[in-house]
Amino acid sequence: MGPMSLRRSAARVLVLAVVLPAMLVSGCSSRAGAAKTELTVTGSTTILPIAEVAAEMFHEQHADLRVLVAGVGSSAGIESVTKGTSDIGTSSRDLKPEEKSLGLVDTPIAFDAIAVIVNPSNPVRALTTKQAADIFEGKITNWKDVGGSDQLIWLVNRDEASGTREAFSKIVLGGAPFDPKSAVLPGTGQVRSVVADSATSVGYISLGFVDKSVKAVSIDGIQPTEKTVADGTYPVSRVLHFFTKGKPSGLAKQYVDFVLSSAVQSKVVRDAGFLPVAEGRK
């Protein structure tokens, strides 16, 4: 299954984000003495393609077991697994200091890079980390200041629940605030679509979602690729996480182990544009 198929599949599962809240409590509890047959996986939209396709494959091998997947943002995923309304919380950011005492166990499932994207018609092909930070902080507001045309920059940002935003802020902005005038969108796909349709816009998305409709610029002279993520030279990279409340067990462990298996890592993870954990940096 290729990246486009993964994205179409991910789009279908977004419907679950609407109905899932009403199902979470029943899905996370089992009748006394009954083996758990339904698992809920909630969180990062970046991880959604991996989790959803792996869930379909898992169900094919275990017809009596169901894995419900929803992409509602990393922070929501961490909150849901902490409260027990999800079995697994997926996140494309690390835990915040205040979240490290919640009893969550981290299982890294892939490595990723965050790409700064512009419209293909934009002549800018490279930025430094400092230039990228200044753009998203609102200090640089015209493309001519970074080698482009004399046009105002239109910033496209993610919402505060986004793990991609959290990671980008930490790595690129050093925690400095984003320009409050930037457009704020709830999902990776929306950011990509807006940048693809606007010649003066700039945004950031997971490398796995970059396609021909947008152009990823190099950062500090390094293009975001699987190789540069694996060797650690691309500066804007991160770990993708599965979080469980305590050590994974039962059905949760079955699914986690399946996602870490070569069947998923070598095919699904790669097809989604990410790097398998076995081949990434330790």
Q: Which pLDDT does position 249 carry in this prediction?
A: 96
Q: How far is CA 278 from the centre of its chain?
A: 19
Domain locations in the chain as residue ranges: 3-111+239-279, 113-230
CA 35 distance to own-chain centroid: 31
**pLDDT value at residue 256:** 97
**Interatomic CA distance for residues 278 and 282, integer angstroms:** 9
Give the architecture-level CATH label for domain 3-111+239-279: 3-Layer(aba) Sandwich (3.40)
Q: How far apart are CA 168 and CA 103, in angstroms?
A: 25
pTM of the predicted structure, to 2 decimals: 0.71
What does the alpha-carbon distance between residue 136 and residue 181 come to, in Å, rounded to a whole number?
A: 10
What burial letters (b/e) apply to 88-116, b meaning 16+ CB within 10 Å?
bbbbbbbbeeebeeeebeebebbbbbbbb
For residue 128, the one-letter residue type is T
209-233 as b/e: b if 16+ CB within 10 A: bbeeebbbbbbeebbbbbebbbeee
Same fold, 3-111+239-279 and 113-230: yes
CATH 3.40.190.10 fits 113-230, yes or no: yes
Closest CA to 221 of 149, 157, 131: 131
Give the count of beta carbons closer than 10 Å to the beta carbon of residue 30.
14
Q: How much is the pLDDT for 84? A: 96
Q: What is the pLDDT along the chain (282 residues), one digit of tens a residue?
A: 554 444 444 444 433 433 344 344 444 444 444 578 999 999 999 899 999 999 999 999 999 999 999 999 999 999 999 999 999 999 999 999 999 999 999 999 999 899 999 999 999 999 999 999 999 999 999 999 999 999 999 999 999 988 899 899 999 999 899 999 999 999 899 999 999 999 999 999 999 889 999 999 999 999 999 889 888 899 999 899 999 999 999 999 999 999 999 999 999 998 888 889 876 554
Q: How many residues does the chain have?
A: 282
